[in-house]
Amino acid sequence: MKIWAYASFLIIGTILVFIPNIDLYVSSLFYTKNQGFYLCRESELFFLYKSVNVLAVVLSVAVIGSLIYIQMVKKQLVVLTTRSVLYVLLVFGIGSGIIVNAFLKENVGRARPSQIVEFGGHKTFSKPFEVTDQCKTNGSFTCGHCSFAFGFIAFYFLFRKRWILFGAAAYGVVVSATRIMQGGHFLSDAFFSFLVMMATADLLYRFWFAKLQPPAVSHE
């Protein structure tokens, strides 16, 4: 990933941290006093939200199955090697599993949009990275479902195909929009989940995968 891209992400992240009212404004677009977050029960949004759970199971089975096959047959599975499968596993495990779900969501304590006073709840709004006691566990910052959705960016670093990058980013954006419209997360929750997964995939590729295996060559 180019340095200019990270510079752009850093600028956006800084804006979201120092102007937290952006989070309130975006969430307010999907909230009314009479109906609350009126899109939260829409079947299409519920399907997109739950698609993450389904894909998590599918990916887990695929990763474990691929590792077993490669070890038993002693040759790569199509274009996948043991190292590439482990790379994907580490991106999701470290980025989504450890950094987002085990560390940030369990320690920052940010309340979700539907829980704060501004949107009919009783908890206090806090800005990104502000450690609070509003949620004892499974807080809003950052977004777990969004982190998994954006995690498919790992396949872009493996194969260097632009359509993979666009597809992974699109899926992540759709899931993020779904969670925001449902009142489950703020815009910054989704954005920083994206940043965690992008950085995790990039750094693991540079300093672990690429050092021991030549990068894939794109024919585009």
pLDDT tens digits for the chain (220 residues)?
678 888 999 999 999 999 999 999 999 999 999 999 988 878 888 888 889 999 999 988 988 888 887 778 766 665 678 888 899 999 999 999 999 999 999 999 999 999 999 999 999 999 999 999 999 899 999 999 999 999 999 999 998 899 999 999 999 999 999 999 999 999 999 999 999 999 999 999 998 877 665 544 444 4
Model pTM score? 0.88
Distance CA 127, CA 21 (A): 9
Distance CA 104, CA 57 (A): 23
